[in-house]
Structure formats: structure tokens, C-alpha cells
Amino acid sequence: MSVRDAIVSRAVPGEPAPRKARLAGLLDTSVGRNLGLVGVLAVLCVIGVATADTFATPANLLIIMTSASIIGVLTVGVTMVIIGGGIDLSVGKVMALASVWSTTVATQSYGPVVMIFCALAVGAGAGLVNGLLIAYGRIVPFIVTLAMLISAQGLAEQISGKRSQIVTDPTIAAIASTRLLGIPLLVYLFALVVAVGWVVLNRTTFGRRTFAIGGNPEAARLAGLDVRRHTVLLYVVSGLCCGIAAIMITSLTTTGSSTHGTLYELDAIAAVIIGGTLLSGGRGTLIGSILGVLVFTTITNLFVLNNLATEVQNIAKGAIIVAAVLFQSRAQRNSP
């Protein structure tokens, strides 16, 4: 076989699909769905440029990116849990708890390194409790993480006495105010978490097992995978993301507060859904979830710039979730 033949034969793997079928099938692939979301994002940007003069300014785009970064970090963890066949409703309030715990007078007295470590440990610890109850206590994830949501809220209120705890340490405040090449450090942190999450999901044995366990837990178990241990690890990863997000929100607001992160879990789950990840597990992409976060954040920004009420904004978000799911189920039905 000549070199040219080899190239030609590699260009056509398997039998060539008819063009029409390939186009229809594109919507069912994750790449196709993500392109669709990029399209939605582009439309939103066009609307933004048309309706608000300030939309396309660098300052506004940075606002979008910064506000996306905190929910974005939570979404990375939630995406992994959902692909692994679970759900995590507790992320918003676990983040609040981590922000409160790491900003008590006592914790602050140990300095920024301990504060950061404390936030990560509280997040991972809450995830560990979630994971153990789900995997070894055999309680459904919905109930466990809902209970965690409520008790994390309560614990955060108790520790803080329902007051905002002001951060006095300049290093923590500097995380949000520092810019590199004009872009806030928070956005880099967000990008880093996404990059690590993507590599873990798509290139490692951990990611591969996550897809297997979410797709068919019984088959994964009978293939010799330690499904319960893996489930615990998934919730710990999600909790760790809450810890990272807690550091970010503490730095951005220079406070630790039990009111941080209210309803963030719903925004994160909604972003995962419109990103094309199956709620039943086993299929999904991190990139889709992140595009989902960007779509939501851009919509919020558009409403703010146009002085529209948040009520209308929430109605629009609800409609978008339904539209996205309808569109996906149709695309799925059309392809074999």
C-alpha cells in the first residue's frame, strides 16, 4: 500500500455514511450539541450588542466571566457526579458553609494558608459524608444531598450567628482583585478547574469508570469495579469543588456568609442539563456544562444591562431549560 493509499483509507474509517444521515446524526453527538450551544451563545451576544451599548465592552465581558467562574467551578463537580449516576443538591450551601468556616475569627488568626486549607477540607468533608451515606448507607442521592443542603445551611448560620464575617487578610482579598494580562485571577482559576476536570473525565481511569458506573452500575459492579468506593470519591470531588468555589466567593465579597450560594445548586444542575448531560448518568460532557453556565450568565447580564426585572429573568431561564431538554430528546429520537 502506498503512502497515498494509506492516507486516503484513513480518511474514511469504516463504511461512509450517507450525507443526510450524517447531518441528522450530528445533533446526537456531543460535538454537535456543543456547537448548538455555541450558536445560542452567539445569538445572545448579537442580542446583547443590539440592545445594550455597554455589552461588548471588555469590562462587561469580564463581569460575565467572573460571575460565571464561581458557579462554573461548582458545575464541574456536579457534572462529574451526574455522569456517575448521582445528583448533588448540596453544592451551594456546602460552599457557604466552607466560606463561613474558613472565615471565623479563629480560622482567620492562622492566616490565609490555613483558611484556604480549611475551605477545601470542609468542602471535601461534606462530600465525604454525602458519598458514604449514598454508597454505604444506600440512601438515594437526592435525599442525602438535600439533607446536606439543609444542614449545611443550618451549620453555617450557627457558626456565623447569621452575620457576615469580614475577611481581614489581604492575601485572600487579593485572589479576586489580582489580574493577569487584564483578566481576573478568578477566571484563570475557573479555567484551571475546568481543564483538570476535563482531563480527569476524558483521559483517566477515574473518568472512564465514572462513565461506566453512571451508564450501568450493575454491569460496572459485575465487571469488578469498586462502585461504592468510586461513588464516595465522586462526591468528595464535588465537595472539593465547593471548597474552591468558597475561596473564590469569600475573596470576591471579602466575607464569609451563610447567605452565599443560595440556589446555586439549581443553576449548576440546569447548566449541566442544557449542556446535554443525561440526568440518568453515563453520558455527558464537561464542555457542554460550561457552555450552559456561560449561556445562563450571559442571559443574566443581558437582563441587568437592559434593566429588566429578575422575575422575568427566572421565567426565561426556566423556559430555556425546558426548550433545551425538548430539543435534546427530539434529536435523540431522530437518530437510531
Partner 1 sequence: MKIGDRVTVLKDGRTVARNLPARGTPTAEVIRLMTGRAVEYALPPRGPEPTGDVVLEVAGLGRRGEFADVSFTVRAGEIVGLAGLVGSGRSEILETVYGARRASVGTVRVRGRALRSGSVPAAVRAGLGLCPEERKSQALLLAEPVYRNVSLPVLGRFARAGFVRQDAERASVRAATAQLDVRPADPARAVRTLSGGNQQKVVLARWLLTGCSVLLLDEPTRGVDVGARGEIYALVRGLAEQGVAVVLVSSDVPEVLGLADRVLVLRDGRVVHEAPGGELDEARVLDLVMEGSRDERA
Q: Which of these, 92, 36, 37, lies nearest to 298 by C-alpha position?
A: 37
CB 215, min distance to partner 1, A: 5
In the complex, what is the shortest distance from the CB of residue 122 to partner 1, in angstroms, rounded to a whole number?
A: 26
Nearer to partner 1, 262 or 332 (CB): 332
d(C-alpha 254, C-alpha 116), whole Å? 13
58 binds partner 1 (CB under 8 A): no
Answer whether 110's CB lies under 8 Å from 231's CB. no
Q: How far apart are CA 180 and CA 321, in angstroms?
A: 35
For residue 181, count other CB atoms closer than 10 A to its CB: 5
Site string for partner 1, 189-208 (x = CB under 8 A): --------------xxxx-x
Reduced to 3 states (helix: H, G, I; strand: E, B; else coil), residue 165 is strand
Smallest gap, in angstroms, from Cβ of residue 200 to partner 1?
8
Tell me if 130 sits within 8 A of 278, measured CB to CB.
no
Q: Could you say whether residue 14 binds partner 1 (CB under 8 A)?
A: yes
β-bridge pairing 179-180 and 183-184: antiparallel
Q: By C-beta, is 283 or 320 nearer to partner 1?
A: 283
Q: Which stretch binds partner 1 (CB under 8 A): 35-43, 209-217, 263-271, 298-306?
A: 209-217
Smallest separation (angstroms) from partner 1 to the CB of 325? 18
**Among the listed residues 16, 19, 224, 311, the single contact to partner 1 using CB under 8 A:** 224
The one among 43, 219, 322, 326 contacting partner 1 by CB under 8 A:
219
Of residues 101, 211, 264, 296, which one binds partner 1 by CB under 8 A? 211
Instruction: Tell me the C-alpha distance between 134 and 232, whole Å.
Output: 8
- Kindly tell me which residue out of 42, 106, 223, 279 binds partner 1, with binding defined by CB under 8 A: 223
Work out whether strand 165-166 and strand 255-256 pair parallel, antiparallel, or are unpaired.
antiparallel
29 contacts partner 1 (rule: CB under 8 A):
no
Give the one residue of 128, 191, 225, 316 binding partner 1; rule: CB under 8 A.
225
Q: Do 95 and 264 meet the contact criterion of CB atoms below 8 Å apart? A: yes
| 226-245 footprint of partner 1 as x/- string (CB under 8 A) | x-------------------
What is the total residue count of the chain?
Answer: 336
CB of 327 to partner 1, least distance (A): 19
- Least spacing, CB of residue 309 vs partner 1, in Å: 42
215 binds partner 1 (CB under 8 A): yes
- The minimum distance between CB 221 and partner 1, in angstroms, equals 6
> Which residue do the cell numbers 464569609 mark?
256
Other beta carbons within 10 Å of 151: 16
Q: Does 55 interact with partner 1 (rule: CB under 8 A)?
A: no
Rounded to the nearest whole angstrom, what is the least distance from the CB of residue 26 to partner 1 in the complex?
16
Q: Which of 285, 141, 134, 281 is nearest to 215 (CA)?
A: 281
Q: Give the Å distances, CA to CA, from 335 to 25, 249, 274, 330, 332.
A: 6, 42, 19, 9, 5
Nearer Cβ to partner 1, position 53 or 218?
218
Angle between helices 264-274 and 310-334 (to 10 degrees): 30
How many residues belong to the site for partner 1 (CB under 8 A)? 23
Separation of alpha carbons 97 and 152, rounded Å: 6
Residue closer to partner 1 by CB (options 214, 261) is 214
For residues 205 and 307, which CB has a smaller minimum distance to partner 1 in the complex?
205
| Binding region for partner 1 (CB under 8 A) | 13-14, 203-206, 208-209, 211-212, 215-216, 218-226, 282-283
